[in-house]
Amino acid sequence: MLIFLQYDGKLLDLQNLLLTNVLINIAKSPARICNHFISLIEVIIVNNTDNNEMFTVNQDLGYSDHLAQLLYIKFKNLLNCPITKFKRHFMDKNVEEFQYLLQKENWIEVSVSNEPNTSFNIFTDTFSYYFTTTFPLKITCVKDSIVNKWITKGTTISRNKL
């Protein structure tokens, strides 16, 4: 029996879904091989990007009927780019403004509706609007660059021997 290795409609649906969302499965070899059974049900789905070199390797750890899948990613230009993340700032001033806006809202549309889902949607839309207004996402610089000080020449040689 072959799972994910035989070409059928479900696999075609999965491939179309991945393609639509600019994703790829990079696990190409089966992770379970028995006498009468080969399966590739363990997938690794990543963004389809040409910026990184990615590949998987199966490793027999000896204590399972499944092989471990190792994902290797080689990043390009990682050392030169700053690391940023989106963050919300919850300062006292912002919290007070948020509370003020919620108190100022009359909420009549929520209570007038006879449909619970409509009331809920109106409430969450209003709440989300005030939340994103008073606590906007801001780009925060985490580090200027990544320097892996713990990777030594010996570590690199040992990794390459694997």
pLDDT at 2: 35
Instruction: Give domain limits for the chain.
Output: 2-76, 90-139
- C-alpha angle 46-138-127 in degrees, rounded to nearest 5: 95
pLDDT at 66: 76
The pTM of this model reads 0.41
Token pair 């879904």 is found at: 17
pLDDT at 147: 61
pLDDT at 77: 57
pLDDT at 3: 42
134 burial level (CB within 10 Å; 0-12, 13-18, 19+): buried
Dist CA 44 CA 141 (whole Å): 29
Give me the average pLDDT of each 10-residue run along the chain (162 residues).
58 82 79 72 74 73 77 66 81 95 93 91 94 91 64 81 78
Task: Give strand pairing partners of 25.
Answer: 45
Dist CA 156 CA 162 (whole Å): 10
